[in-house]
């Protein structure tokens, strides 16, 4: 490959932006720096949210509320949900990987609006600290991450107002990010690159960002009204003052069902990048993948009331939302089978990235099936607000998205830092995460089916054993972060040097140095029209020549 | 060494094409700002979609209240029609005057453009004044009942948008006094303020329809 080096015209005058590690603490405009800022901040909040989850699981080891008081338990579970969703999953799976990868994938030197991008990131730390500080100062909100009125109107006001403020800031950050992704994917593609040639993660982020732009503002408006109810004693959602609490639920879920796709669609995209590389095969069914994403975006906007089957929803509404929800299984199923077909007959390298991705597929199918079951009214009426729902969404959010985040870190760490993560530690990390996760959340389905309500600090003693098993699983999950953290810190300084393209991948982020230079490529941006061209040109990849393990180690 | 190396793995169509740079032929038709392609209008339009969804949420809430939450006996909620109708006319008119201002600018008539901008801002401020008069003459307050609260929330949120829009217009009007700040084909500030103003105007028409006419 011979590349001519045209004279560099740097857009940001040198000297204005700090160099070295300091730029990670600065208002940097570089999309790669911002991506890693999202990543590290997100991981910090993951540890916070994990500590909160630990408190929940310790409390639930015994049927009585002995470890923390009931009020504290409510605060802890509210903070746990809010932190994990708004400060860990959404920022990392969108902000971190999106900012890092999308400009590469469209062949651009940065996002469409670099300054807006930095603003979007820097809204997150203050919002996060505000939220956490509320626990220590006035007592945190107690009404769960859903903040349903009238509960959110009767629990202590100060914590709830801070919660609203924090979520508004995070929503704003998310909207700014979404606008940026849409503009970057649609407007910043290098000449000659067509939409249908983009890596799948671009489509996933486009779909996600459409959901963000269409639904997050509705949540923001709703929370403003909720704050009026709390502060000014208006009665929008307060039945005691003639208001309507169910309207809040509709508006909330109009955001929050799409929000589950905001959390999982980018993970779909990331998996679609990882599988072809480590299976040495083209992504199966590119076109159907694209239309599935668009289908999920559309259907995702019209299924929200499946969260409200016990909120006196009229029969026609139940019927419509059950059917619409069942339809989502179609595009989701298409994606699932496409991933399987991608793996089928490939030279699979069972490295950490691949292991986490395969576990994602398994968990997501399971969580998807319980999801479709939950959308059936007669079943949902029995298990709504029980641990069955908790089991369902942890299978999709943790077993799905968080597993993909870890897989993606193993996959892209060499690009981020120029060094490889240690594979043995990585597989060890995978093993305990996988066991711990399933041990923690599989029993919760049983608990829910047998009637254990969620969000309560105490439970019937007959549920003790299952809860203890679940808590042991949680302990394993907590332990599993240790090998990961050790791996990251050790490898960042002393890991094996990765080189530009350790996986022999074809997507554009690998066609530059590791870590990449400011503005992504020294010289011209490559035009990658076949990001999954593994083996499509006969003679280039010899599938018979090596086992997956050899192919994988050939890249080392 | 197995069958692939990064270069042999490279399928032939993954080629290197000229850099994405200002001035290179395929990008020439895209306006640039500080050497980067300028997509600010696109970004603003996307933002307005988001902003519109906030209003859509409010409208949906209001219409649902109308459908299922009757006004309790004894609660006061009455609106006059004359003042808001005058206000509607003012706001619609201001969309046309802004359009006129932008047209003058495209014909390089900076003076006329500034005059029409000022008229537009005046109409916007008149609208806000009318809104204030209405607020003070209404027989109900913010927390009197559900409809009263909804009325103030909706018109207040819209009024906030009008205030911001009027401020934007006054800012571009002020900036336009420097010759060369806005040219016939390079005037993002004016364009942005115009799009925003039409948006605010359109939202008002929906509000007027569902709050006063329905
Ligand atoms: C594959 C299709 C899916 C279907 C059909 C589905 C269906 C459902 C249904 C019907 C409920 C309501 C249960 C109840 O409260 O009684 C629910 C809850 C939930 N789902 Fe899913 N789901 C799906 C995928 C997902 C995904 C991908 C995520 C996140 C990434 C997710 C996250 C959640 C969450 C967080 C809740 C609980 C919300 C709460 O009440 O706090 N679901 N799901
Ligand atoms: Cu849902």
Q: Which domains does chain B carry?
A: 1-38 (no CATH), 39-72+80-213 (1.20.120.80)
Q: Does residue A396 have its Cβ closer than 6 Å to ligand 1?
A: yes
In this model, does residue A555 exceed pLDDT 50? no
Q: Do A250 and B19 touch (CB under 8 A)?
A: no
Q: Does residue A375 have its Cβ closer than 6 Å to ligand 1?
A: yes
Does the residue A542 lie in any domain? Answer: yes
ipTM rounded to 2 decimals: 0.89
In this model, does residue B202 exceed pLDDT 50? yes
For A487-524, b/e burial (b = at least 16 CB within 10 A) is bbeebeeebeebbebbbbbbbbbbbbebebebbbbeeb
In this model, does residue A55 exceed pLDDT 70? yes
Q: Does residue A288 have its Cβ closer than 6 Å to ligand 1?
A: no
Distance A175 CA to ligand 2 centre (A): 20
Q: Domain containing A378: what range?
A: 26-553
In this model, does residue B22 exceed pLDDT 60? no
Q: Residue A124: which of A180, A41, A44 has the closest Cα?
A: A41
Number of separate domains in chain A:
1
Does the residue A176 lie in any domain? Answer: yes
Ligand 1 atom closest to the Cα of residue A89 is 30
Q: Whose CA is nearest to atom 4 of ligand 1?
A: A371
Does the residue A357 lie in any domain? Answer: yes
Rounded (10°) CA dihedral A220, A224, A225, A227: 130
Residue B24 is given by DSSP the state: S
| Nearest residue in B to A537, CA atom | B11
Distance CA B84, CA B134 (A): 8
Contact with chain B for residue A536, Cβ under 8 A: yes
Backbone angles phi, psi at B11, to 5 degrees: -70, 150
How far CA A424 is from CA of A124, A476, A535, in Å, comes to 34, 18, 29
Q: Residue A112: which of B149, B213, B45 has the closest Cα?
A: B45
Assign B35 a pLDDT band (cuts: 50, 70, 90).
low
Q: How far is A116 from chain B (nearest CA, A)?
A: 10
Distance A395 CA to ligand 1 centre (A): 10
Q: How confident is the model over B8-18, as a mean pLDDT?
A: 41
Distance A260 CA to ligand 2 centre (A): 7
Q: Whose CA is nearest to atom 28 of ligand 1?
A: A260
In the predicted model, what is the mean pLDDT of chain A?
Answer: 91
Distance A389 CA to ligand 1 centre (A): 7
In this model, does residue A271 exceed pLDDT 80? yes
* pLDDT digit string, tens, across residues A153-205: 999 999 999 999 999 999 999 999 999 999 999 999 999 999 999 999 999 99
Distance CA A414, CA A498 (A): 6
Mutate to test the pocket of ligand 1, among A392, A441, A455 (most ligand atoms within 8 A of CB): A392
Q: Do A221 and B54 touch (CB under 8 A)?
A: yes
Please calculate the CA angle B185-A186-B42 and round it to the nearest 5 degrees. 35
CB proximity under 8 Å: A 436-455 to B: none
Indicate the range of A44-48, A98-102, A542-546, B202-206 predicted with least confidence: A542-546
Does the residue A498 lie in any domain? Answer: yes
Which residue in the set B7, B34, B69 is minimally distant from A11, CB to CB?
B34
Residues in chain A within 8 Å Cβ distance of B24: 191
Q: How confident is the model over A199-213, as a mean pLDDT?
A: 97
Q: Residue A515: is the preceding peptide bond cis (ω within 30°)?
A: yes
Distance CA A507, CA A276 (A): 11
Q: Does residue A454 have its Cβ closer than 6 Å to ligand 1?
A: no
* Residues forming beta bridges with residue A453, ordered by sequence position: A386
Distance CA A222, CA A242 (A): 17
CB proximity under 8 Å: A 194-253 to B: 213-218, 220-222, 225, 228, 232-236, 241-244, 247, 250-251
Please calculate the CA angle B195-B198-B203 and round it to the nearest 5 degrees. 125
Q: pTM of the prediction?
A: 0.90
Ligand nearest, relative to CA of residue A379: 1
Mutate to test the pocket of ligand 1, among A389, A448, A449 (most ligand atoms within 8 A of CB): A389
Q: How confident is the model over B186-207, as a mean pLDDT?
A: 95
Q: How far is CA A299 from the centre of its chain?
A: 19
- Residue A453 three-state SS: strand
Residue A165 is given by DSSP the state: H
How far CA A252 is from CA of A455, A492, A517, B179, in Å, comes to 19, 41, 42, 49
* pLDDT digit string, tens, across residues B103-141: 999 998 899 999 999 999 999 999 999 999 999 999 999
Please calculate the CA angle A469-A474-A480 and round it to the nearest 5 degrees. 130
Element (DSSP H or E) covering residue A527: strand A526-527
What is the β-pairing status of strands B36-37 and B32-33?
antiparallel
Q: Does residue A372 have its Cβ closer than 6 Å to ligand 1?
A: yes
Distance CA A140, CA A77 (A): 10
- Residue A12 has a pLDDT of 44
Ligand nearest, relative to CA of residue A263: 1
Distance A260 CA to ligand 1 centre (A): 7
CB contact at 8 A, A82 and A393:
no
Distance CA B52, CA B36 (A): 28
Does the residue A4 lie in any domain? Answer: no
- Residue A522 has a pLDDT of 86
How far CA A476 is from CA of A323, A325, A396, A431, A471, in Å, comes to 39, 34, 19, 10, 9
Distance CA A388, CA A299 (A): 24
Distance CA A82, CA A147 (A): 10
Ligand 1 atom closest to the Cα of residue A145 is 41
In this model, does residue A535 exceed pLDDT 80? no
User: HSE of A471 in the Cβ direction (CA atoms, 13 Å)?
Assistant: 17
Q: Does residue A394 have its Cβ closer than 6 Å to ligand 1?
A: no
Token pair in block for residue A115? 């300054």
Does the residue A462 lie in any domain? Answer: yes
Residues in chain A within 8 Å Cβ distance of B21: 6, 9
Distance CA A106, CA A526 (A): 10
Assign A537 a pLDDT band (cuts: 50, 70, 90).
low
Residues in chain B within 8 Å Cβ distance of A525: 17, 19-20
Distance A391 CA to ligand 2 centre (A): 14
A547: domain CATH number is 1.20.210.10
User: HSE of A285 in the Cβ direction (CA atoms, 13 Å)?
Assistant: 19
Does the residue A446 lie in any domain? Answer: yes
CB contact at 8 A, A404 and A360:
yes
For A161-170, b/e burial (b = at least 16 CB within 10 A) is bbbbbbbbbb
In this model, does residue B2 exceed pLDDT 70? no
Query: Which residue is it, tokens 């011209």?
Result: A524
Which residue out of A115, A244, A254, A498 would a mutagenesis test of the B interface target, given it has the greatest number of B Cβ atoms within 10 Å?
A244
Does the residue A5 lie in any domain? Answer: no
Token pair in block for residue A452? 């254990």
Say if residue A104 is exposed, middle or buried (CB neighbours under 10 Å; 0-12, 13-18, 19+).
buried
């Amino acid at each position: 490959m011979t590349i001519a080096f045209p004279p560099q015209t740097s857009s940001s005058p040198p000297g204005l932006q700090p160099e070295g590690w300091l730029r990670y603490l600065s208002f940097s405009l570089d999309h790669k720096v911002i991506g890693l800022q999202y990543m590290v901040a997100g991981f910090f909040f993951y540890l916070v949210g994990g500590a909160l989850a630990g408190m929940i699981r310790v409390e639930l080891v015994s049927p009585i509320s002995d470890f923390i008081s009931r009020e504290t338990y409510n605060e802890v579970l509210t903070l746990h949900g809010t932190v994990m969703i708004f400060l860990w999953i959404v920022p990392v799976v969108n902000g971190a990987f999106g900012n890092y990868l999308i400009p590469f994938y469209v062949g651009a030197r940065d996002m469409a609006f670099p300054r807006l991008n930095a603003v979007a990131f820097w809204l997150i730390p203050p919002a996060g600290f505000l939220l956490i500080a509320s626990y220590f100062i006035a007592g945190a909100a107690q009404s769960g991450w859903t903040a349903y009125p009238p509960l959110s109107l009767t629990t202590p006001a100060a914590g709830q107002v801070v919660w609203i403020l924090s979520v508004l800031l995070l929503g704003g950050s998310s909207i700014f990010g979404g606008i940026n992704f849409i503009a970057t994917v649609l407007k910043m593609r290098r000449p000659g690159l067509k939409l249908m040639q983009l890596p799948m993660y671009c489509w996933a982020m486009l779909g996600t960002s459409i959901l963000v732009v269409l639904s997050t503002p509705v949540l923001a408006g709703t929370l403003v009204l909720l704050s009026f109810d709390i502060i000014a004693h208006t009665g929008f959602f307060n039945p005691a003052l003639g208001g309507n609490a169910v309207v809040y639920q509709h508006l909330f879920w109009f955001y929050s069902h799409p929000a589950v796709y905001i959390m999982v669609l980018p993970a779909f995209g990331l998996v679609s990048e990882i599988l072809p590389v480590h299976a040495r095969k083209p992504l199966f069914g590119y076109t159907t993948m694209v239309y599935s994403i668009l289908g999920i975006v559309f259907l995702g906007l019209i299924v929200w009331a499946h969260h409200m089957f016990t909120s006196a929803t009229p029969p026609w509404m139940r019927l419509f939302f059950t059917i619409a929800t069942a339809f989502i299984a179609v595009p989701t199923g298409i994606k699932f089978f496409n991933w399987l077909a991608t793996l089928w007959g490939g030279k699979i390298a069972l490295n950490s990235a691949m292991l986490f991705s395969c576990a994602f597929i398994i968990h997501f199918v399971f969580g998807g099936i319980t999801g479709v079951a939950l959308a059936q009214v007669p079943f949902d009426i029995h298990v709504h607000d029980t641990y069955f729902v908790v089991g369902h969404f942890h299978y999709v959010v943790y077993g799905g998205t968080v597993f993909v985040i870890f897989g993606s870190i193993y996959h892209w760490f060499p690009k981020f830092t120029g060094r490889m993560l240690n594979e043995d530690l990585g597989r060890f990390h995978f093993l305990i995460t996988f066991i711990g996760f399933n041990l923690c959340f599989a029993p919760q389905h049983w608990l829910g089916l047998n009637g254990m309500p969620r969000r309560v600090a105490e439970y019937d003693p007959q549920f003790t054993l299952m809860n203890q098993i679940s808590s042991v699983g949680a302990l394993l999950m907590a332990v599993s972060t240790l090998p990961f953290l050790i791996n990251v810190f050790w490898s960042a300084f002393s890991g094996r040097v990765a080189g530009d393209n350790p996986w022999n991948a074809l997507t554009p982020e690998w066609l530059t140095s590791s870590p990449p230079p400011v503005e992504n490529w020294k010289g011209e941006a490559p035009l990658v029209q076949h990001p999954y061209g593994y083996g499509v040109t006969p003679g280039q990849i010899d599938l018979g020549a090596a086992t997956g393990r050899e192919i994988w180690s050939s890249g080392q | 060494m197995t069958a692939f190396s990064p270069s042999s793995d490279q399928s032939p169509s993954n080629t290197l094409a000229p850099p994405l740079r200002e001035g290179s032929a395929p990008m020439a038709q895209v306006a640039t700002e500080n050497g980067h392609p300028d997509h600010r209008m696109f970004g603003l339009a996307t933002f307005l979609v988001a902003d519109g969804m906030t209003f859509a949420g409010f409208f949906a809430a209001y219409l649902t209240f109308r459908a299922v939450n009757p006004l309790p006996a004894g609660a006061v909620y009455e609106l006059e029609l004359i003042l808001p109708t005058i206000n509607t006319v003012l706001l619609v008119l201001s969309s046309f005057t802004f359009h006129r201002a932008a047209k003058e600018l495209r014909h390089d008539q900076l003076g006329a453009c500034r005059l029409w901008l000022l008229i537009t801002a005046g109409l916007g401020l008149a609208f806000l004044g009318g809104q204030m008069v209405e607020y003070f003459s209404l027989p109900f307050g913010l927390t009197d009942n559900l409809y009263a609260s909804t009325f103030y929330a909706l018109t207040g949120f819209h009024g906030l948008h009008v205030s911001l829009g009027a401020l934007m217009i006054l800012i571009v009007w002020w900036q336009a006094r420097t010759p060369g700040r806005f040219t016939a084909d390079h005037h993002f500030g004016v364009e942005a303020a115009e799009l925003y103003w039409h948006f605010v105007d359109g939202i008002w028409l929906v509000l007027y329809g569902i709050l006063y006419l329905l």
